[in-house]
């Protein structure tokens, strides 16, 4: 694993507190299920049979995807308490859940149909973002999706009393500029007032010819 200030925080008490603030409440899961129904429309005709969430925490996205698809679900998550919740609630099988980070994903090249993040890239220091993107791209067979806070230019945002844990930018452009084999299939904005989900921009990419 890459030793960073950010990783230390998410693996430790700060990350445990984040787990405590989250819960698979009915309304949260309904909102996420509606969100994923919208996002997955762009995959019609080539629906993923395997899905990996990078930084899945307690699995709100995976729990919602389980309602929508029969795909085999996988996750990586550095926080022990979050992984315990995923196993206790049977969100993932033990063999499909790994203690890992975006910078070193324990899957083979082109081994997962859809690889995605949701509110995770914003917590990766810019110095490590290229490595995380490269790993996501390497593991993806066809689809990549990023759902993150948006800023037209990179900026550091104070977050729960820390100034080293939240970094906004145009993540869609970051991926599109870095990988010439990606094409944008769909994108959108999740307005908190109508979705109940933090104001987030998402982009669905497909590897050309896949």
* Mean per-residue pLDDT of the chain: 91
Q: What is the pLDDT of residues 32-78, one digit of tens each?
A: 999 999 999 999 999 999 999 999 999 999 999 999 999 999 999 99
Instruction: Tell me which residue of 146, 143, 147 sits closest to 183, measured CA to CA.
Output: 143
CATH code: domain 5-207 is: 3.40.50.150
Residue-wise pLDDT for 143-154, tens only, equals 999 999 999 999
**pLDDT confidence bin for 1, thresholds 50/70/90:** very low
Whose tokens are 């990988």? That residue is 179
**204 pLDDT band (50/70/90 cuts)?**
very high
Quote the pLDDT of residue 196: 82
Task: Give dist(CA 141, CA 159) in Å, integer.
Answer: 34
Give the distance, in angstroms, between the CA of residue 105 and the centroid of all CA atoms in the same chain: 13
**What pLDDT sits at residue 142?**
98
Least confident range from 9-13, 106-110, 128-132: namely: 9-13
Q: What is the pTM of this model?
A: 0.91
Q: Output 164 or 112, whichever has higher pLDDT.
A: 112
pLDDT per position as a tens digit, 76-104? 999 999 999 999 999 999 999 999 999 99
Distance CA 82, CA 191 (A): 26
Alpha carbons within 13 A on the beta-carbon side of 197: 23
Q: Which residue has the higher pLDDT, 7 or 85?
A: 85
What's the pLDDT at 74?
98
């Amino acid at each position: 694993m890459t030793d960073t200030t950010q990783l230390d925080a998410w693996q430790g008490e700060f990350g445990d507190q984040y787990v405590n603030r989250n819960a698979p409440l009915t309304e949260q899961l309904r909102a996420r299920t509606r969100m994923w129904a919208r996002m997955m429309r762009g995959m019609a005709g080539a629906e993923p049979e395997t899905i990996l969430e990078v930084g899945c925490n307690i699995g709100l996205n995976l729990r919602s995807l389980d309602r929508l698809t029969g795909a085999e679900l996988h996750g990586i998550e550095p926080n022990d308490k979050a992984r315990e919740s995923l196993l206790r609630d049977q969100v993932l099988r033990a063999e499909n859940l790994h203690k890992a980070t975006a910078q070193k994903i324990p899957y083979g090249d082109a081994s997962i149909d859809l690889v995605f993040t949701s509110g995770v890239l914003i917590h990766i220091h810019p110095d490590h973002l290229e490595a995380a993107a490269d790993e996501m791209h390497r593991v993806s067979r066809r689809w990549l999706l990023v759902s993150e806070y948006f800023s037209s230019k990179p900026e550091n945002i104070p977050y729960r009393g820390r100034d080293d844990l939240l970094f906004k930018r145009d993540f869609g452009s970051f991926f599109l500029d870095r990988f010439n084999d990606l094409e944008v299939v769909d994108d959108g904005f999740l307005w908190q007032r109508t979705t109940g989900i933090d104001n987030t921009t998402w982009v669905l990419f497909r590897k050309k010819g896949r």
